[in-house]
Amino acid sequence: MPLQDIRIVIQQLATPFDALKKVGVIHTDVKTNNIMYVDQTIKPLQVKLIDFDMSVFTKDAKSIRDNQVLRYKAPELIFGLSYSEALDIWSLGCVMSEMVFKCKLFPGAGEDEVVSNSV
């Protein structure tokens, strides 16, 4: 995908996070598998963020289940620190990096290896 198209897609993906923050929701599972292209023939670059199964209200953020895909997991989750809707933005950044560079931002076989590659 050309960089100009990636920019259009990322702008669309960033939009829901402002709305989610206003209503106090954290998606918690932002990853490439949760980005859906709407209709490739009619609107080839239109995407939607899907799969809100793991979403939590910001006030209930401590209840986030620790089953996010490791390569999209924010450091605060990995290290057991307090977190907020910023973890969605971290995951979005990882998705964006994968789209641009066509590889994992933080490669590794396990949590220790991924963490050492991300800090």
Where exactly are the structural domains of the chain? 3-110
pLDDT the model gives residue 6: 93
Residue type, 52: F
**How is domain 3-110 classified at the CATH fold level?**
Transferase(Phosphotransferase); domain 1 (1.10.510)
Q: Which residues are catalytic?
A: 29
pLDDT the model gives residue 75: 86
Statement: residue 70 has pLDDT above 90: no
77-106 pLDDT, tens digit each: 888 887 789 999 999 999 999 999 999 888
What number of other Cβ atoms are within 10 A of residue 47's Cβ? 16
24-38 pLDDT, tens digit each: 999 999 999 999 999
What percent of the chain has pLDDT above 70? Answer: 95
Residues in Cβ contact with 62 at an 8 Å cutoff, skipping those fewer than 6 apart = none
